[in-house]
C-alpha cells in the first residue's frame, strides 16, 4: 500500500498559503507585533534547523541522543509489551533519534507500524526512502500534515494500541495554554495502557540556554530572519533583511527563551499578497518564538492536568534534557 498519506488542506478548506497570509496580517497588525514560529519551517528553514541541531551550543539534540542511546532497551520495554501497536512520531523530520528506537524494536522483533507525521512532504518522502534502505522490514505509514491533522489520524485509529512520540522539546514552542490543550487532545485519542514519550528541555544555567539560541556563527539568527525572507518569497513582501536583527532573551523565572526580530530603523514594509503596508518604529520588535524550559515537577503537573501519569523519566548525564514516558 501507499506509504505516504497527504493531509494538505485545513478543515475549513483554506490552503496553507492562505493561512500563512492571514496569520502574518493578524500578527503584524497587533501591538506588540508577533509571528508564529510554526512558519519557520519552509525548505530553507528546515535546512537551517538541521544546521542548528549540529551546533556545539545547541545541546538539546546531543542530549536527547544520549538519553535515547543510553536507555533504548528500557524505553521500548515499556511500549505495548503484547501485540501490535502504532508508533506515532509527531514532527518526525529525518527521524534520526527515532531510528534508535526503531532499530531496538526491530532487534526485539516487535510487531508495530511506524507512523511518522511531518508538515514537510519532502522530509517524509526522504524518510520513507531511507527506512526502506536501512530497515526494510519496518512497516511505515507516513502522514504529511500539521499536528492537528495527525490528531485526526489518531482519532481514525482510536481502537489500536498506540505509543506517541513528541521528541526534541517541540512542546516548548507552544504557549503554555496551547501545550496543555495539545496534550489533552492527544490524551483524548488514547486508551488505557497507551503511552506518550515527551522530550522536554530542562531548566539549567541561563547562560547555557542563551548560547543555544544565540550561537557564535549566527545560524540561529539566519533561521529567525528566514521568516522575513519567506514572507518576501511567498507573499511578495519587501522586507529589507539588513534592517532587522535577531534577538533572543531568556527569562529564568518563567523558564522561557523568547526570540524576536528587531527593526533597526523606522521603516515601512509592504506585503503584496496582503496588500498592506506595515510600519515599524526604530527598535520595535516582532516576537517570533517561545522555547520553554521545564522543571520535572512542571512536566508532571502538565501531564496530570492532561490525564497522563509519569511512568519513567529518562535523562542525560548532565540532566539537561528529559524524555518523559507518560501512560494513560
Give residues in contact with ligand AVI (CB under 6 A): 52, 60, 168-170, 172-173, 213, 220, 223, 289, 291
Residue nearest to ligand AVI (CB): 291
CA atoms within 13 A on the CB side of 42: 18
Cell of 202: 530542562
Give least dist CB 211 to ligand AVI, A: 11
Measured CA to CA, the distance from residue 202 to residue 266 in angstroms comes to 38
Give least dist CB 91 to ligand AVI, A: 8
SS3 31: coil
- Nearer to ligand AVI (CB atom), residue 261 or residue 274: 261
Q: How many Å is the Cα radius of gyration of the chain? A: 20
Give least dist CB 39 to ligand AVI, A: 12
Give least dist CB 291 to ligand AVI, A: 3
Strand partners, 251: 256
- Nearer to ligand AVI (CB atom), residue 213 or residue 326: 213
How far is Cα of residue 270 from the mean position of the Cα atoms in its chain? 30
- Nearer to ligand AVI (CB atom), residue 132 or residue 319: 319
Cell of 167: 521528541
Measured CA to CA, the distance from residue 213 to residue 218 in angstroms comes to 9
- Nearer to ligand AVI (CB atom), residue 52 or residue 117: 52
- Nearer to ligand AVI (CB atom), residue 120 or residue 173: 173
CB 195 within 8 A of CB 78: yes
- Nearer to ligand AVI (CB atom), residue 172 or residue 255: 172
Give least dist CB 64 to ligand AVI, A: 10
3-state percent breakdown (helix, strand, coil) of the chain, nearest 5? 40, 25, 30
Which residue spans within 282-320 are E strands per DSSP? Answer: 285-292, 309-315
SS3 260: strand
Nearest partner of 39 among 180, 228, 177, 213, judged by Cα = 228
- Nearer to ligand AVI (CB atom), residue 193 or residue 218: 218
Give least dist CB 41 to ligand AVI, A: 8
What phi and psi, each to the nearest 5 degrees, are found at residue 322?
-135, 140
- Nearer to ligand AVI (CB atom), residue 20 or residue 213: 213
CB 193 within 8 A of CB 328: yes
Total residues belonging to the chain: 328
Nearest partner of 227 among 35, 19, 16, judged by Cα = 35
Give least dist CB 219 to ligand AVI, A: 9
Give least dist CB 77 to ligand AVI, A: 27
Amino acid at each position: 500500500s501507499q506509504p505516504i498519506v497527504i493531509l494538505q488542506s485545513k478543515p475549513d478548506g483554506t490552503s496553507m498559503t492562505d493561512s500563512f497570509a492571514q496569520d502574518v496580517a493578524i500578527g503584524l497588525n497587533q501591538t506588540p507585533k508577533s509571528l508564529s514560529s510554526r512558519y519557520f519551517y519552509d525548505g530553507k528553514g528546515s535546512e537551517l534547523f538541521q544546521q542548528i541541531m549540529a551546533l556545539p551550543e545547541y545541546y538539546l539534540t546531543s542530549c536527547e541522543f544520549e538519553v535515547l542511546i543510553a536507555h533504548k532497551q528500557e524505553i521500548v520495554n515499556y511500549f505495548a509489551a503484547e501485540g501490535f501497536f502504532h508508533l506515532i512520531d509527531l514532527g518526525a523530520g529525518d527521524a534520526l533519534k527515532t531510528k534508535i528506537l526503531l532499530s531496538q524494536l526491530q532487534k526485539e522483533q516487535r510487531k508495530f507500524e511506524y507512523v511518522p507525521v511531518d508538515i514537510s512532504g519532502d522530509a517524509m518522502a526522504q524518510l520513507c526512502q531511507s527506512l526502506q534502505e536501512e530497515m526494510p522490514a519496518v512497516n511505515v505509514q507516513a502522514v504529511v500534515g500539521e499536528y492537528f491533522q495527525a490528531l485526526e489520524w489518531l482519532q481514525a485509529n482510536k481502537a489500536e494500541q498506540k505509543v506517541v512520540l513528541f521528541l526534541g522539546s517541540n512542546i516548548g514552542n507552544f504557549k503554555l495554554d496551547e501545550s496543555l490543550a495539545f496534550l489533552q487532545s492527544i490524551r483524548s485519542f488514547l486508551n488505557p495502557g497507551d503511552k506518550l514519550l515527551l522530550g522536554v528541555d530542562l531548566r539549567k544555567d541561563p547562560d547555557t540556554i542563551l548560547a543555544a539560541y544565540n550561537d557564535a556563527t549566527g545560524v540561529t539568527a539566519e533561521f529567525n530572519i528566514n521568516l522575513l525572507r519567506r514572507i518576501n518569497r511567498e507573499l511578495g513582501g519587501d522586507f529589507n533583511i539588513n534592517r532587522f536583527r535577531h534577538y533572543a532573551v531568556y527569562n529564568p523565572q518563567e523558564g522561557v527563551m523568547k526570540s524576536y526580530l528587531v527593526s533597526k530603523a523606522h521603516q515601512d514594509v509592504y506585503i503584496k499578497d496582503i496588500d498592506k503596508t506595515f510600519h515599524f518604529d526604530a527598535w520595535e520588535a516582532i516576537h517570533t518564538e517561545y522555547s520553554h524550559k521545564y522543571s520535572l515537577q512542571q512536566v508532571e503537573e502538565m501531564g496530570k492536568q492532561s490525564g497522563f501519569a509519569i511512568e519513567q523519566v529518562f535523562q542525560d548525564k548532565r540532566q539537561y534534557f528529559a524524555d518523559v514516558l507518560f501512560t494513560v
